[in-house]
Structure 1
Amino acid sequence: MKITVDRGVMAEAVAWVARSLPSRPSVPILAGLLMRAQGDQVVMSSFDYETSAKITISAQVDEPGEALVSGRLLADIAKSLPDRPIRLTAGTSAVELVCGSARFTLQLLPVEDYPNLPEMPASTGSVVSEDFARSVNQVVIAAGRDELLPVFTGVRMEIDDDRLSLLATDRYRMALKELAWNPSTARAEGAALVPARVLSEAARSMSSGEAVQLALAGDTANEGLIGFEGDGLNGTRQLTTRLLDGEFPKVRHLMEIRGNVTVRCNTAELIDSVKRVSLVAERNSSLRMAIDEDSIALDAATGDQAQATEAVEAAITRDGGDVEIAAVGFNPHYLSDALGALDTPFVQFSFTAPGKPCLVQGLAELDGEPDVDYRHVIMLMRLPG
Structure 2
Amino acid sequence: MKFRVERDVLAEAVTWVARGVPARPSVPVLAGILINADAEGSITLSAFDYEVSARITVPADVQDAGTVLVLGRLLSDISRNLPAKPVEFSTSGNKVDVTCGSSRFSLMQMPEGDFPTLPTAPEASGTIDGGAFTQAVAQVAIAADRGDTLPILTGVRVEIDGDKMTLLATDRYRLAMRELHWNPAATDANQVLLVPGRTLLDTAKSLGTTGSIDLAFGGAAGGDGLVGFEAGQRRSTTRLLDGEYPKVSSIFPTSSETEVVLATAELVEAVKRVALVAERNTPVRLKFGEGQVTIEAGTGDDAQASEAVEATLTGPDLEIAFNPHFLLDGLGAVGTAYTRISFTQPSRPAVLSGQDEADGDADTSYRYVLMPVRFAS
TM-score, normalisation: structure 1: 0.94
Residue in structure 1 matched with residue 195 of structure 2 by the alignment: 194
> Offset of 1:3 from its aligned partner?
1.2
Residue in structure 2 matched with residue 30 of structure 1 by the alignment: 30
Question: Which whole-Å CA distance do the structure 1 matches of 2:95 and 2:252 have between them?
Answer: 57
Aligned to 1:171, what secondary structure does the other structure show? coil
Decide whether the 8 Å contact of 2:353 with 2:363 is kept in 1: yes
Decide whether the 8 Å contact of 1:257 with 1:350 is kept in 2: no
Tell whether 2:116 aligns with 1:124.
no
> Offset of 1:47 from its aligned partner?
0.5
Decide whether the 8 Å contact of 2:219 with 2:240 is kept in 1: no
> Offset of 1:167 from its aligned partner?
0.3
Q: Structure 2: which amino acid aligns with 1:353? A: Q
Decide whether the 8 Å contact of 1:280 with 1:302 is kept in 2: no
Deviations 1:86-144 (A, max 9, x none): 11112341100011111110110111111100011110011111110111111000011
Aligned to 1:373, what secondary structure does the other structure show? strand
TM-score, normalisation: structure 2: 0.96
Aligned to 2:269, what secondary structure does the other structure show? helix
Q: Structure 2: which amino acid aligns with 1:190? A: Q
> Offset of 1:304 from its aligned partner?
3.0
Question: Which whole-Å CA distance do the structure 2 matches of 1:202 and 1:310 have between them?
Answer: 39
Aligned to 2:296, what secondary structure does the other structure show? strand
> Offset of 1:339 from its aligned partner?
0.4
Residue in structure 2 matched with residue 341 of structure 1 by the alignment: 333
User: Percent identity at matched positions?
Assistant: 47
Residue in structure 2 matched with residue 284 of structure 1 by the alignment: 281
Question: Which whole-Å CA distance do the structure 2 matches of 1:140 and 1:218 have between them?
Answer: 20
Question: Which whole-Å CA distance do the structure 2 matches of 1:60 and 1:89 have between them?
Answer: 12
Residue in structure 2 matched with residue 254 of structure 1 by the alignment: 251
In structure 2, list runs of 5 or more residues that go unmatched. Answer: none
> Offset of 1:159 from its aligned partner?
0.3
Aligned to 1:227, what secondary structure does the other structure show? strand
One of 304, 307, 319 as aligned partner of 1:327 = 319
Residues 187 and 220 (structure 1), Cα distance of their counterparts in 2 relative to 1, 3 Å cut? closer
> Offset of 1:382 from its aligned partner?
0.5
Aligned to 1:314, what secondary structure does the other structure show? strand
Aligned to 1:250, what secondary structure does the other structure show? coil
Question: Which whole-Å CA distance do the structure 1 matches of 2:173 and 2:158 have between them?
Answer: 20
Decide whether the 8 Å contact of 2:166 with 2:180 is kept in 1: yes
One of 362, 365, 372 as aligned partner of 2:354 = 362
Residue in structure 2 matched with residue 6 of structure 1 by the alignment: 6
Q: Structure 1: which amino acid aligns with 2:261? A: R
Residues 150 and 67 (structure 1), Cα distance of their counterparts in 2 relative to 1, 3 Å cut? same
Residues 221 and 251 (structure 1), Cα distance of their counterparts in 2 relative to 1, 3 Å cut? closer
> Offset of 1:222 from its aligned partner?
3.3
What number of residue pairs does the alignment pair up?
376
> Offset of 1:158 from its aligned partner?
0.4
> Offset of 1:220 from its aligned partner?
5.2
Aligned to 2:364, what secondary structure does the other structure show? coil
Deviations 1:262-316 (A, max 9, x none): 1111111111111111111111000100111110000112763422111000000
Question: Which whole-Å CA distance do the structure 1 matches of 2:226 and 2:153 have between them?
Answer: 18
Decide whether the 8 Å contact of 1:278 with 1:287 is kept in 2: yes
Decide whether the 8 Å contact of 1:257 with 1:359 is kept in 2: no
